Structure 1
Amino acid sequence: MTALGLAAPAARGRAPFHRPWALELRATLALSAPLVLTNLAQHAVITADVVMLGRIGAEALAAATLATGLYFILFIGGLGLTSAVAPLVAGALGRDGTAGDEARRTVRAGFWAATLAAGPLMLALWHTRTLLDLIGEPPALAMAAGTYMRALQWAMWPALLFMVLKGALAALGRPGWPLAASLAALPVNVVLAVWLAFDRPGCLGLGPVGVGIATSVSAFVMLAILCGVILRDPHLRRHRLLHRVWRFDPVRLGAIFRLGLPMAATGLAEAGLFEAAVLGMGLFGASQLAAHAVAIQVAAFCFMVPNGVAQAATVRVGLARGAGDRHRLRLAGRAALGLALAFMSLCALVQLTLPENLIALFLDLGAARNAPVLPYAVGFLSLAALFAVADGVQSVALGMLRGLQDTRVPMLIAVGGYWGVGVPVGAALAWGAGLQGYGIWLGFCAGLFVVAGLLLARWRRLARA
């Protein structure tokens, strides 16, 4: 077995033509499985928050959806910087098989980048109510969203630091530890949220603010657990990832920014499309906004799988690039794309055939206050099924290109596809054609299909070059 996890064609009676692809698929599965589960565990925190907010009421859910949308669009900007850690460490491993000082310097620079980004992002989130008032959201929703954000925003800094370590550990072959930390933090979030938010005997009854506090606490718990593991795990201790983490390394920080800023812009372009949808949906009333919150949570939960596969693809392609092995590089891309296509096709089928079962996970369908939400949620889920496959493809294609450390052209593709196609189409259908929320979701579909196609074309050209 080579450092890339791919053996040369050998015995056991199998044809050499089939063996490398099968081994690459197995290696991609082995790496992506814990990354997918980590994404799902982290998203489970968000999903649990949505479930609890839905139990508080549709108004609370609608307000928190506005706040959470703003939080995540800014978080994704910081995440773009931290995502540069994985391809840089993987490339170093592919070149010499050890990474050594490279991994430590990259993690240190990633911590600096996360910290430098977190300050202004949290400052912006502090003024959520003002921002929502300026764009014309209903005053009651803007006030409730701003109050919720004052509790949620404190999760930003530890969450970004966690993502730095998650990327480094994936490249170093230890993706299971971030999963363990995420699973440990999940019950902390749920128990705290129930105790702080609900108005029941023995609970504090803080409402949505209690949910936000619980989410922030769980982010610090995840980071603390992962740091503890890095200091104690024998394999990780030799890399000394947290050694003198406060030292400033301008050269490596520059590398993080050169690779990470286009990634941040790409993420912001996509997240901005979805946030624009949330803000636009709020103008159509609380029922459509609450229905959108449910549908987007289902779609986002499904997306965690191709997102994890994309993270694995970044590492696998990065290792092959560092080793200068173009054949294995192409195999890594094919394996990741195949996994994403298969899973997202299954998700689309479930969304089309069992929409009410999925909606019941988030809303009490027997409650009269939720009756206006149900038909919109069913319709939005049907449209979410249309772009599920394209969403998976664009995510994995981005991951593969990041493994090649190609980030600038994908950034232009994302900006052009989402904002040059998705937003105008969605606006024209929602307001011009009078389709309201349905038009916004059709805009999603248009933008995602364009971006997925162009990213695949970019990958094919670079992988053959």
Structure 2
Amino acid sequence: MIALAYPLVLTNFAQALIPATDVVLLGWVGPQALAAASLGVNLFNACMIFGVGVMIAASPMMARALGQRAHNVRDVRRTVRQTMWSAVLLVVPIWLLLWHAEAILLMLHQNPVLARDAAHLVRPMMFGMLPLFFYQVLRGFVSALERPGWAFLVGAFAVISNALINYALIFGRFGLPAWGLFGAGLGSAISNLLMALGMAIVVTRQRHFRRYRLFGHFWRADWPRFREVWRLGLPIAVTLGMEVTIFNAAVFLMGLLGAAELAAHAVALQIATLCFMVPLGIGQATTVRVGLAYGRGDRIGIGRAGWMAFAITMAFMLVPATLMLAAPRFLVGLFMNVGDPANAHVVALACSFLTVAALFQLVDGAQAVGAGMLRGIHDTAMPMLFAGVGYWVVGFGTAILFGFHFGWGGVGIWTGLATGLAAVSVLVIARWARRERLGLV
């Protein structure tokens, strides 16, 4: 489990470092740019995560096929091809939506100046979404073959290139124009394109992958497999969409409180997101390991893979929880100048948010790995319902109640997030524990 999980964790870190780098660079520009970027990135992420959910369906499908028969070349190729078709179908309405980012943010009663600036970031960034979807499909392919290190190497290269490109485009270095927020969005889009091209080169040239000929007969329709991708992937997309949009809703609620709360939330959320990359990677590894056992019909192997992943995740999440409680100011200092008096209010707010984030690290890890366990046995519909109830009934309701009715402000909103995550984690782990009685395996 660890051998498969750690390259996936590192790859997640690499992907998370791309927007985190943008936050750091725009934090150097100033709190106004940071607040606008927070609005834009969270709107972009809401759409991106939904699409990635459909792409994720490829991983358990390929794992099950390889569990049933090793070197199942044709079946794996069909899944990759039709998942990429799904990406093309999905990205067009997403582009149309994001093109009107400013109008959407104004409908959500955000500051007009911040909404206009956020749109400058989103419009170039959105064209990197299709390459990002292709990268996710190819990453699922190499993970299903239990060789995820290639995805990490490509992702690490993208982090370095993104930092250089965005630094140049934001501040006008190396003879390029200083485009600020627009430059940050364009740089991210270019980085996503480089990741997709890098993975395409790997799967067509590396000897373990090229015999699958993933791009052979790419334009050949395969409607049964296309429908299967959507049958499994759409509930995953909705589940992830509800999870990320509750955090996006928190951003918009923070925007109602003020620019300082919004900037502090952006910093605290980046820290929590980086910590989340570990359970997310373990969950992705779990989907593969459980899926392989599921394809073999190995019930003992299914249970062993799932519970081992859960134990590893719980042990790890104690580390970031302790760090957030013990040294929140140090963590915030990684993203902004804590010694600048102009940032004092933002730093204090970010530290208070991290205190709450420390308390939900365990439940956040549990829900992430629990979802991965259930995806391995192709159980995606019920977790979607769990997400709806947990995030939007329990979590959002608690955030509104504590944040505004009781006057807790930003801390109340983060308390709502923690409550929603706890509810979902209890529901998914309980379902996994009852999987055989429910006839799932």
Q: Does TM, normalized by the shorter one, top 0.5? A: yes
Preserved contact between residue 344 and residue 389 of structure 1 (Cα < 8 Å): yes
| 1:179 aligned residue (152, 156, 161) | 152
Q: Which runs of 5+ in 1 are unaligned?
A: 1-27
Cα 1:296–1:463 shift into 2, 3 Å: farther
**Structure 1 residue aligned with 2:91:** 118
The separation in 2 between residues aligned to 1:201 and 1:447, in whole angstroms, is 46
| Letter of the structure 2 residue corresponding to residue 169 of structure 1 | V
- Is 1:318 the counterpart of 2:275? The answer is no
Distance 2:175 2:324 in 1: 38
Q: Distance in 2 between matches of 1:218 and 1:164?
A: 17
**Correspondences of 1:83-98 after superposition (within 5 Å):** 83-98=56-71
The structural deviation recorded for 1:123 is 1.1
Q: Choose which of 329, 335, 339 in structure 2 pairs with 1:356.
A: 329
State the TM-score, normalized to the length of structure 2.
0.98
Contact 1:58 1:369 in 2 (8 A): no
1:397 paired to 2:397: no
Find 1:376's aligned residue among 331, 349, 354. 349
Aligned counterparts, 1:32-431, within 5 A: 32-198=5-171, 202=175, 204-431=177-404
Aligned equivalents of 1:145, 1:315: Cα separation in 2: 37
Q: Distance in 2 between matches of 1:420 and 1:237?
A: 47
Q: Distance in 2 between matches of 1:267 and 1:318?
A: 20
Contact persistence 1:76–1:267 (CA under 8 A) = yes
- CA pair 394-236 structure 1, distance change in 2 beyond 3 A: same
Q: What is the Cα deviation at residue 283 of structure 1?
A: 0.8
Residue 208 of structure 1 deviates from its aligned partner by 1.5
Structure 1 residue identity aligned to 2:247: F
Query: 1:83-129 deviations in whole A, cap 9, x for unaligned?
Result: 10000000001111222201100000110011111111111011000
Alignment CA distance shift 1:379-1:72 (3 Å): same
2: CA distance, partners of 1:246 / 1:83: 21
TM-score in terms of structure 1 length: 0.93
- SS, match of residue 371 in structure 1: helix
- Is the 8 Å Cα contact of residues 290 and 306 (structure 2) preserved in structure 1? yes
8 Å Cα contact 1:390/1:452 also seen in 2: yes
Contact 2:28/2:336 (<8 A) preserved: yes
Whole-angstrom CA distance in 2 between matches of 1:59 and 1:50: 12
CA contact (8 A) 1:329 1:463 kept: no
Amino acid at match of 2:2: L
Shift of 1:202: 4.5
Percent sequence identity is: 43
Which residue does the alignment assign to 1:24?
Answer: none
1:25 matched to which residue of 2?
A: none
Per the alignment, residue 3 of structure 1 pairs with: none
Distance in 2 between residues matched to 1:167 and 1:193, nearest whole Å: 27
Q: Please say if residues 268 and 350 of structure 2, whose CA atoms lie closer than 8 Å, have aligned partners that are also in contact.
A: yes
Partners of 2:197 and 2:53 lie apart in 1 by 22
Q: Distance in 1 between matches of 2:321 and 2:436?
A: 29
